Amino acid sequence: MSDIMGKTVIITGASSGLGEATARMLADKGARLMLAARREDRLKTLTDSINAAGGEASYQVADVTDRNAMQALADQTRETYGRIDVLIANAGLMQLAPLDKLKVDEWDAMIDINIKGVLYGLAAVLPTMREQQSGHIINLSSVAGHTVFPGAAVYSATKYAVKALSEGIRQESNGEIRATNISPGAVETELTDHITDPGAQEAANELYSVAIGSDAIARAITYAIEQPGDVDVNELIIRPTQQQ
């Protein structure tokens, strides 16, 4: 029996990309899933497809920037499955542009989703994990959380923050809570669809010409979860082989 079998896993941003691929992989390995995002039609289709294939999934519409919605998501997970073993804080937004473009609304949105969203998820599940004396927080940072490139200053800042939070959770885990920081390079998803700056879009198209599939990241997340309880995979960086 894998160490994933029967674990209760919340995935934010499960309606597309890495979240969806991870949901499918963990369901195949016997996890009990609570899938969250804003687009209900996508969540419903994914949940139905997992359950039809013999997996176990439920969904709840939740905006990660809404603290009450995140608490309701955690409460619903406990009500449905009785416990919360893993939170995959995956929901994220990348809107690249040079700072001079002053896309302040985009800065706000990235800070709200990528940083506050991770914190609200943490706040919602931490008391339960403390009560259980076990839990696992998996945060989606990025290669951009390790290095900065032109046009990505604010996105990078949010992903550096995610890395800091992952490390903080690890240091304060009291030997009860595992913390994993996942840092993907270019992966083919809907992430680049939200870029509004033409120059940044062009640079992203170039970078993403070598993008790999979401399954690569799903495998990394699966690896971290399936380790024995006394093993905490703290950090994984996964780049396309062809990415600089």
Q: Which of 45, 65, 134, 243 binds ligand NDP (CB under 6 A)?
A: 65
Element (H, E) at 236: strand 235-238
**155 catalytic residue (yes or no):** yes
Nearer to ligand NDP, 161 or 186 (CB): 186
16 binds ligand NDP (CB under 6 A): yes
- 230: helix, strand or coil: coil
Listed in sequence order, the residues at least 6 apart from 234 whose beta carbon sits closer than 8 Å to its beta carbon are: 166, 167, 170, 179, 180, 181
Give me the helix-helix angle, 117-132 and 67-81, nearest 10°. Answer: 30
Which single residue is written with the structure tokens 């030997």? 175
82-111 positions binding ligand NDP, by CB under 6 A:
90-94
- C-alpha–C-alpha distance, residues 128 and 134, integer Å: 9
- Is the Cβ of residue 39 or residue 130 nearer to ligand NDP in the bound state? 39
147 scored as a contact of ligand NDP (CB under 6 A): no
Residue 131 binds to ligand NDP (criterion: CB under 6 A): no
Location of structure tokens 């994993």 = 180
Give CA–CA dist 237/188, Å, rounded.
16
The region of 62-70, 79-87, 129-137, 168-176 touching ligand NDP under the rule CB under 6 A is 62-70
Which amino acids are annotated catalytic? 155
Contact residues toward ligand NDP (CB under 6 A) are: 12-13, 15-19, 37-39, 42, 63-65, 90-94, 113, 140, 142, 184, 186-187, 189-191
